[in-house]
Amino acid sequence: MALSGVEIFKHLPKTNCKKCGHPTCLAFAMKLAAKQASLDACPDASDDAKKILGESAAPPIRDITLGTGDKAVKVGGEICMFRHEKKFFNPNVFAVAIKASEAGDVAAKKIEAVKTSEIDRVGQKLRVDAIAVTDEGGDAAKFAAVVKQVVDGVPGVPLILVSKNPATIEAGIALCADKKPLIYAATAENAEAMANIAKENKASLAVFADGLDALTALSEKVKALGVEDLVLDSGARKAKDMIEHFTIMRRAAIKKNFKPLGYPIITFATRDNSVSEAVTAAIGTMKYASIIVLSSVEKWKMLALLSLRQNIYTDPQVPMQVAQNVYKVGDAKENSPLLITTNFSLSYFIVRGEVENSKVPSWLAVMDNEGLSVLTAWAAGKFTASKIAQFITESGAEKNVSHKELIIPGYVAVLSGALEEKLPGWKITVGPREANQLPTFLKARA
Amino acid sequence: MALVIPKETYSGKIYSIQLGSGAKAVTIGGASALPFLGFEGTFPNRPAVALEVMDIAPDDWPETLKKAIGSAGSNPVQWAKFCQQSGADMVALRLMGTHPDQKNKSPEEAAKIAAEVAAAIDIPLMILGSGHAEKDTQVLQAAAAATRGKNCAIGKAVEENYKTVAAAAMANDHKLIAMSQLDVNLAKQLNILLTQMGFDKERIIMDPMSSALGYGLEYTYSVMERIRLAALLQNDPMMQTPIVCDIGANVWKVKETMAPDAEMPEWGGLEDRALAWESVTASAMITAGADMLIMRHPGAAAKAKEVISELMG
Ligand code: B12
Ligand code: SF4
């Protein structure tokens, strides 16, 4: 039974501390009742409250953690259909499939690719999140051999064990039982056996059925067998089926509180052509898939997919920002150049990256413009000559350098005259427009 | 518990707009539900993919792109034919050479090229100015007159010049592309202004302003989703125009489509990376509801068409 907002409120700390992002505990309780928030957001909720609120506090889509330790990933827990309504919380997992028949060299190559997949984008570390070992073209022994290769090669990377044969899963899970892998999949034929393996190993369990009706029935059945942490696969593989099925599942869970479909979604976006695979996986990222299994993870492909995921999962209300500060890039000294940009994470990281590329140690003054890009901030009147002048004076930028020269972004060249007026004694130099011209620009001056 | 499919009731519908004429005419729009939800609506027309051509050589385009276009880039007519052969649904002629910072070509020169390109292809044509709001008024007026009868899409009409650009489209029986800046209300406002001056709303294609993957894509994505919700669920007639996404110009100026392998080894090979960048950007815009895309790389356009086919079922 769902509790009302007032009933939920009784169990909250009632301190109105706002840490949950809501003005009062009551406001937060109302959001919980409307399934637009998760109790996790209140750091002070007591364990008793968590127990009592149980179902009411649970997000409409259960959240599930794959793996353990610092590479563990949480999926599900979403509360809205469109990112502008609130935000998407738990980024989907990208997993690469390694077939049992690939045991040995091919598997080693893919493991290496996962190991070296981490990229830094706008201050976030992104990587291939998981590995799916599939029994395709192999027997239980080969399957286990690949699992072993993975566990030894990239310890800590969450595993998905893919086989419809319980004996094969058992052979694999014996090697990673303490790592909270995901078992894929319980089907109408093997549900009891798979449920038992999942329970014994405290693993989460994917449920596969062809079509949403069959999936609903099977999901209920597996839950009745005592497995809580489920992940769902309706068999949707074509882009059209993906969008349709996943939308229905998300809507049923969020709008109708339909429990049998209130779990994270897994899909296999594999295609022969790798770019085709990327565009299909992209649809999964946008339209509600929580785990997307790929057949290969070339660096260029992951760069595109991880960037898309980052875009879709950013908070639409608050652009990613960095703190206002005068940052030291490299071994900057008092005669090093001083540049200015805004505190929009993207602007800052792009500019910083290019300054680093230039190998010319520099000072980068980052001004708080509420996370707007240079041109947007300028157009919004937040990156004006007087505001920049005030920032430069108050930030102490002057103390870092012995000179009085400020390099401004090329796109706001129009500001240079006014800035020289507002900052008496300063020389304003107009930098290039695009940050990628900064290395040439800085080197030429050095 | 049996699953009852939770369906939305849509009261609105996207207008259908035809471009070009004859066997190769293209119709876009017509959706009666959120993108590709076939269980609750119909999608009579596929999103169209236009390949971009300029009136000047693509000298400042990245190498990967120039290589894909080859020698065709040296001449707009040849280039347009090349796009047609590459399987584009439309050609988008951008009259970049008219920009005062470029070659500052005259409206007459631009109009001549537009007419030549229109005559050389049998797929529909889109004619875009250089983005210089003031100069575009004269350029687009001349180009619209020179291609009268071809049922082109002319643009972009923006807040600063919409009256003149719309008048040029109206006088020569073309459709109009109206661009606003990443804001649901501004998009609606421009459509209202256009209809107030007597422009038929069912001849407008709205450009919500595009951005590239990794560079503000999420803003465009959410603005488009909100436009579609307003059009379909709230039945707002001023939001029911088809949407065009001008992605190539944004994608091919970011570092991911330009940095050589050696410079960014952790990003993988440039050729694949650049192709994927435009393809994935296209995939995102199609998913958000784009009815028409303007792209630059024929290979990426082919990938967009492939995913459109998969989505149309
Ligand atoms: C996403 C976006 C938005 C988002 C905001 C995103 C954000 N967090 O800033 C939203 C939707 C909120 C928005 C709003 C507006 N926007 Co806006 N927006 C964009 C868009 C599409 C991308 C901006 C972006 O993220 N760029 C990427 C970042 C990294 O760029 P950047 O900070 O400029 O940094 C680059 C360079 O400047 C350089 N650089 C940066 N720092 C430094 C420092 C030095 C020393 C040097 C040398 C170089 C350098 O390096 C970077 C990469 O090369 C652009 C159009 C476009 N495609 O660029 C328009 C754009 C910036 N917006 C514009 C406008 C007009 C607006 C609005 C006023 C319009 C409106 N809708 O009301 C509002 C104002 C916001 C407000 N609060 O009032 C105009 C600005 C016009 C102009 N020339 O001044 C643009 C250019 C669109 C256009 N062509 O008309 N916008
Ligand atoms: S974080 Fe918890 S205690 Fe604080 S206001 Fe929110 S609900 Fe109340």
Residues having CB closer than 6 A to ligand 2 are A 12-13, 15-20, 22, 25, 28, 42, 44
**What tens digit of pLDDT does each residue of A10-24 get?**
999 999 999 988 999
Contacts of B304 in chain A (CB under 8 A): 279
Strand partners, A172: none
Q: How far is CA A343 from CA A349, A371, A388, B150, B156, in A?
A: 9, 5, 13, 48, 31
* Closest C-alpha residue for ligand 2 atom 7: A25
Strand intervals (E) in A216-290: 230-233, 266-268
Does some domain include residue B37? no
CA gap A298, A204 in Å, rounded: 28
Number of separate domains in chain B: 1
And the tokens for A362? 């520099």
Q: Which of A315, A366, A373, A437 to mutate to test the pocket of ligand 1 (most atoms within 8 A of CB)?
A: A373
pLDDT at A103 over 90: yes
CB contact under 8 Å between A434 and B3, yes or no, is: no
CA B199 from centre of chain: 20
Closest CA to B32 of B53, B50, B9: B9
CB contact under 8 Å between B304 and A286, yes or no, is: no
pLDDT along chain B (313 residues), means of 10: 95 98 97 98 98 97 96 97 98 98 97 98 98 98 98 98 98 98 97 98 98 96 98 98 98 94 95 98 98 98 98 93
**What tens digit of pLDDT does each residue of A339-379 get?**
999 999 999 999 999 999 999 999 999 999 999 999 999 99
Does some domain include residue B14? no
Distance (Å) from CA B220 to ligand 1 centroid: 13
Does some domain include residue B127? yes
Which residue is closest to B275 within chain A, CA to CA?
A: A275
- Given CB atoms, is A212 within the 8 Å cutoff of chain B? yes
Does some domain include residue B1? no
pLDDT of residue A2: 64
Residue with the two structure tokens 């020389």: A427
For residue A104, the distance in angstroms to the closest alpha carbon of chain B comes to 24
CB contact under 8 Å between B36 and A243, yes or no, is: yes
Closest CA to B219 of A303, A304, A317: A317
**What tens digit of pLDDT does each residue of A212-257 get?**
999 999 999 999 999 999 999 999 999 999 999 999 999 999 999 9
- Given CB atoms, is B81 within the 8 Å cutoff of chain A? no
Ligand number with the minimum distance to the CA of A32: 2
Residues having CB closer than 6 A to ligand 1 are A 319, 339-342, 344, 346-347, 350-351, 371-376, 378-380, 407-411, 431-432, 434-435, 438; B 181-183, 186, 211, 215-216, 219, 250
Does some domain include residue B21? no
Residues 231-270, chain B, touching A (beta carbon < 8 A) = 253, 255-256, 258-259, 263, 266-270
Which residue is closest to B310 within chain A, CA to CA?
A: A239
pLDDT band at A56; cut points 50, 70, 90: low
Does some domain include residue B207? yes
Q: How far is CA A72 from CA A409, B7, B226, in A?
A: 40, 35, 34
Domain holding B67, by residue range, is 45-312
Does some domain include residue B25? no
Contacts of B6 in chain A (CB under 8 A): 248, 251-252, 255-256, 258
- Given CB atoms, is A214 within the 8 Å cutoff of chain B? no
Instruction: Please state which of the ranges A48-52, A89-93, A200-204, B46-50 shows the lowest mean pLDDT.
Output: A48-52
pLDDT band at A1; cut points 50, 70, 90: very low
- Given CB atoms, is B216 within the 8 Å cutoff of chain A? yes
Contacts of B214 in chain A (CB under 8 A): 121, 307-308, 310-311, 346
CB contact under 8 Å between B272 and A238, yes or no, is: no
CB contact under 8 Å between A240 and B229, yes or no, is: no
Following DSSP, what letter does each residue of chain B receive, concatenated?
Answer: -PPPP--------PPEEEES-GGG-EEEE---SSTT-TTS----SPPEEEEEEESS--TTS-HHHHHHHGGGGGSHHHHHHHHHHTT-SEEEEE-GGGSTTTT---HHHHHHHHHHHHHH-SS-EEEE--S-HHHHHHHHHHHHHHTTTS--EEEEE-TTTHHHHHHHHHHTT-EEEEE--S-HHHHHHHHHHHHHTT--GGGEEEE----BTTBBHHHHHHHHHHHHHHHHTS--GGG-S-BEEE-HHHHTTSGGGT--TTT-GGG--HHHHHHHHHHHHHHHHHHHT-SEEEES-HHHHHHHHHHHHHHH-
Distance (Å) from CA A350 to ligand 1 centroid: 14
CB contact under 8 Å between B225 and A121, yes or no, is: no
**What tens digit of pLDDT does each residue of A280-333 get?**
999 999 999 999 999 999 999 999 999 999 999 999 998 889 999 999 999 999
User: For a pLDDT cut of 90, what percent of chain A falls above it?
Assistant: 86
And the tokens for B291? 């009815």
ipTM for the complex shown:
0.95
pTM score of the predicted model: 0.92
Instruction: Please state which of the ranges A100-104, A263-267, B138-142, B150-154 shows the lowest mean pLDDT.
Output: A100-104
Does some domain include residue B180? yes
* Closest C-alpha residue for ligand 1 atom 48: A409
CA gap A324, A347 in Å, rounded: 13
- Given CB atoms, is A284 within the 8 Å cutoff of chain B? no
* Closest C-alpha residue for ligand 2 atom 6: A20
Residues 140-199, chain A, touching B (beta carbon < 8 A) = none
* Closest C-alpha residue for ligand 2 atom 2: A42
Contacts of B253 in chain A (CB under 8 A): 434
Q: Domain containing B149 — which CATH number?
A: 3.20.20.20
* Closest in A255, A279, A303 to B283, CB measured: A279
- Given CB atoms, is A139 within the 8 Å cutoff of chain B? no
CA gap A250, A88 in Å, rounded: 12
pLDDT at A106 over 90: yes
Q: Which of B181, B217, B252 to mutate to test the pocket of ligand 1 (most atoms within 8 A of CB)?
A: B181
**What tens digit of pLDDT does each residue of A396-431 get?**
888 899 999 999 999 999 999 999 999 999 999 999
